Chains A and B, each alone.
Chain A
Amino acid sequence: MSLNRREFLGIGAAVTAGAAIAPGIRLIELVQARSLEEAASAQQRWGLLIDTNKCTRNCTACVDACFVENGIGNKGRPATDPQWIRKIETKDPSTGYTHSLPVLCQHCDYPPCVDVCPTGASMKRADGIVLVDKHICIGCRFCMMACPYKARSFVHEVITDQKAYAPRGKGTVESCTLCVHKIDRGDGTTACTEACNKGGHQAIIFGDLKDPNSEISKSLREKGGRQIRADLKLNTGIRYQGL
């Protein structure tokens, strides 16, 4: 195989550009992988974009992956077993049009759970992730009363086999952490997103809503995205397409 001068220069330029950019991309990853000592930064706002048209009715891959990742056991008591993420089926009674979508903590910009929490255990990190500080949660459940998305669960019984990175405790309230441990170690994804991709659905995009070049921002810009209960003006970090 012989190359003419023009082809050689073209390939050379591409290789050079790649070599120059690659460390830059790697650098961005390094910047994103924050150490535990470093505070979360308001430079980012993590979120998910869920395309409900790609979400299959009987698929629970995201739910299953979340439960495994975060060590959420099932005691066979559905009324009290925690669910950090669940599949909701909707049906328009006038047309019969149905939809299936995962609902989880919407990581609101103005979270009602944080507003009502008496001790400040419910809190929002600078990067938009809404969490419960299990050390100061008194288990009053006011946040569960306030959440418009029924996204929170109360731990109704003793928990065993916890994951070290996802501490939980009887008598406290918990909800989706947006796999904060994965974000903090720089995985750049969540368990639900990974599972959905692995299943070939590609219905969930994880990313930085503040980065205009992120996939999530681009998709939102191009195809739009809605919030559940947008009327409440909570500016949720979880957006949906096809709703």
Chain B
Amino acid sequence: MSKIQYDTIEGRSTGFLMLLGIFGAMVLAALGASYFMEHNGHYVTGMSNQIVWGTPHVFAVFLIVAASGALNVSSIGTVFGKAMYKPLSRLSNVLSLTLLTGGLMVLVLDLGRPDRIIIAMTYYNFKSIFAWNMILYNGFFVIVGIYLWTLMDHNVKGYARTAGMAAFIWRLTLTTGTGSIFGFLVAREAYDAAIMAPMFIIMSFSFGLAFYLLVLMAAYTWTGRPLGDAVVTRLKNLLGVFVASVLYFVLVYHLTNLYVTEHHGVERFILLDGGIYTQLFWIGQVIIGGIVPLLIFFTPAFGKSRAVLSLGAVLVILGGLAQMYVIIIGGQAYPLSMFPGMEVSSSFYDGVVANYTPTLAEVLLGLGGIGLALAATTFALKVLPLLPHSLADKIADPHYKAESA
């Protein structure tokens, strides 16, 4: 394994400008959508007093979870000392920062009063996991930023392991906080489960790595840099393990609920007769986001095809979005149990499954978060030396042996 040379991408080609243009347009569309929602009020969205968190939250939480996961590649290199991952660290740090930025943009622009963001930063209720998350998100930028500095500046590289450890602990805490937003909701049957926190952590491993793998392969392919099979194979195998782990956590979550008779209603709703939520669970989350990627990643014939691997990573992301949709919106659609054992009705939709149809504005706002994350990543690749000039096997693989040897 030879010394790694990092450099920026040239960033003048038509393709580069088109890429920035597309991502930029996504961000502009999101800003327009947000203005439309905030100007009129949320009644123009699919959200209501029944479904209070809609599609923007699906994207926002997904991106925030993916952000902490994207840092994993870096942590494996620095904290766990795996040599192959070290050259991959810089991009991992940057991607985690940009994904978090995208997620937070969506979250903030969906607030009822986004103009009051300064209040959210200055008034803290320390019993609220949301308040803690604001500290965790802001701290993530600082800690990962410092960590990135130690990775890029030779004068401070001696601190990289310490900074990497701090970032690793911080990101685990952050995802625990995100999962606990749902885990701490005692009144809603679909949530109120301690497993939410570790499940969100394993989801972050999976979604974050899927993003990372896609960005890495795209960056190397489109800039004509060599990216050897050693790195790609290692990452796709790891992603496969994470995808399987997510399925395991989902299985345990549902088995636990199924054992408790009072939760049979909500389980029946998600797993059997919840309409769109049941379809998204089985087809979106389990098959498209779980089983098909596993087949792709662990079928040797597919392992060599970058296109098929990319498809696998895209499916993990789509499945992740489906999973968030089922958790966030499905969990709200199922009615609150205020009078256990009774049938209830009212003019306020008590006792009935809530209706929700995403509107274009909500989807555009959510996609804008992805657009912002990718635009910022693309821009960062042009201005910072994040990518090794080559990740060919003979450079990147610590166990590389020349075939002629």
CB of A78, distance to nearest CB on chain B (Å): 7
Residues in B neighbouring A148, C-beta threshold 8 A? 186-187, 336, 338
- Count of chain B residues with a beta carbon within 8 Å of a chain A beta carbon: 50
Contact of B113 among A79, A116, A118, A139 (CB under 8 A): A139
Stretch among B119-127, B234-242, B319-327 lining the A interface: B119-127
Stretch among A4-12, A29-37, A150-158, A206-214 lining the B interface: A150-158
Cβ contact within 8 Å between B43 and A77: yes
CB of A203, distance to nearest CB on chain B (Å): 17
Secondary structure of the B contact surface, majority rule:
loop
Cβ contact within 8 Å between A120 and B123: yes
Residues in B neighbouring A220, C-beta threshold 8 A? none
Q: Does B193 contact A (CB under 8 A)?
A: no
Cβ contact within 8 Å between B342 and A92: yes
Q: Does A141 contact B (CB under 8 A)?
A: yes
CB of B65, distance to nearest CB on chain A (Å): 17
Residues in A neighbouring B181, C-beta threshold 8 A? 142
CB of B355, distance to nearest CB on chain A (Å): 7
What separation, in Å, do the CA atoms of A2 and B340 have in the docked complex? 66
Residues in B neighbouring A117, C-beta threshold 8 A? 125, 128, 130
Cβ contact within 8 Å between A115 and B127: yes
Beyond A88-B344, A156-B41, A172-B112, whether A112 also contacts B49 by CB under 8 A is: no
Nearest neighbor of A146 in chain B, beta-carbon distance:
B185
What separation, in Å, do the CA atoms of A78 and B43 have in the docked complex? 11
Type the 1/0 row for B120-157, where 1 means its CB is closer than 8 Å to any CB of A.
10011101111101100000000000000000000000
CB of B88, distance to nearest CB on chain A (Å): 35
CB proximity to A under 8 Å, residues B27-71: 38, 40-43, 47-50, 52-53
Residues in B neighbouring A146, C-beta threshold 8 A? 184-187
Residues in A neighbouring B133, C-beta threshold 8 A? 118
What separation, in Å, do the CA atoms of A78 and B355 have in the docked complex? 12
Contact of A157 among B43, B129, B349, B350 (CB under 8 A): B43
What separation, in Å, do the CA atoms of A234 and B120 have in the docked complex? 26
Residues in B neighbouring A79, C-beta threshold 8 A? 48-50, 349, 355
Nearest neighbor of B48 in chain A, beta-carbon distance:
A79
Residues in A neighbouring B123, C-beta threshold 8 A? 118-121, 136
What separation, in Å, do the CA atoms of A149 and B350 have in the docked complex? 10
Q: Does B345 contact A (CB under 8 A)?
A: yes
Type the 1/0 row for A81-102, where 1 means its CB is closer than 8 Å to any CB of B.
1110011111111000001000
Contact of B348 among A83, A137, A145, A229 (CB under 8 A): A83
Nearest neighbor of B337 in chain A, beta-carbon distance:
A229
Beyond A80-B49, A115-B127, A154-B52, whether A140 also contacts B342 by CB under 8 A is: no
Q: Does A59 contact B (CB under 8 A)?
A: no
What separation, in Å, do the CA atoms of A173 and B120 have in the docked complex? 15
Beyond A146-B187, A170-B41, A228-B338, whether A137 also contacts B52 by CB under 8 A is: no
What separation, in Å, do the CA atoms of A158 and B134 have in the docked complex? 28
Cβ contact within 8 Å between A112 and B116: no
Cβ contact within 8 Å between B130 and A118: yes
Q: Does A21 contact B (CB under 8 A)?
A: no
CB proximity to B under 8 Å, residues A96-133: 99, 103, 112, 114-121
Cβ contact within 8 Å between A149 and B130: no
Contact of B131 among A119, A144, A232 (CB under 8 A): A119
Residues in A neighbouring B40, C-beta threshold 8 A? 157
Residues in A neighbouring B53, C-beta threshold 8 A? 141, 145
Cβ contact within 8 Å between B38 and A140: no
CB of A5, distance to nearest CB on chain B (Å): 63
CB of A88, distance to nearest CB on chain B (Å): 4
Residues in B neighbouring A90, C-beta threshold 8 A? 339, 342-344
Cβ contact within 8 Å between A119 and B50: no
Residues in A neighbouring B52, C-beta threshold 8 A? 141, 144-145, 154
Residues in B neighbouring A71, C-beta threshold 8 A? none
Type the 1/0 row for B212-248, where 1 means its CB is closer than 8 Å to any CB of A.
0000000000000000000000000000000000000
Q: Does B300 contact A (CB under 8 A)?
A: no
Beyond A118-B128, A149-B338, whether A154 also contacts B187 by CB under 8 A is: no
Q: Does A186 contact B (CB under 8 A)?
A: no
Residues in A neighbouring B128, C-beta threshold 8 A? 115-118, 142
Cβ contact within 8 Å between B116 and A118: no
Contact of A232 among B125, B134, B187 (CB under 8 A): B187
What separation, in Å, do the CA atoms of A96 and B201 have in the docked complex? 46
Q: Does B332 contact A (CB under 8 A)?
A: yes
CB of B338, distance to nearest CB on chain A (Å): 6
Cβ contact within 8 Å between B119 and A119: yes
What separation, in Å, do the CA atoms of A150 and B332 have in the docked complex? 11
Type the 1/0 row for B91-125, where 1 means its CB is closer than 8 Å to any CB of A.
00000000000000000000111101101100111
Known: A138-B113, A157-B42, A171-B41. 9 other contacts (CB 8 A): A86-B347, A86-B348, A89-B344, A99-B342, A103-B350, A119-B119, A120-B123, A137-B112, A140-B112
- B residues with a Cβ closer than 8 A to A are 38, 40-43, 47-50, 52-53, 111-114, 116-117, 119-120, 123-125, 127-131, 133-134, 181, 184-188, 332, 336, 338-339, 341-350, 355
> Can you report 25 residue pairs joining A to B where beta carbons are below 8 Å apart?
A80-B43, A88-B348, A89-B345, A103-B338, A116-B127, A116-B130, A117-B130, A119-B119, A119-B120, A138-B114, A139-B111, A139-B116, A140-B111, A141-B53, A141-B112, A144-B52, A148-B338, A154-B52, A155-B41, A157-B41, A157-B42, A172-B112, A228-B338, A229-B338, A232-B187
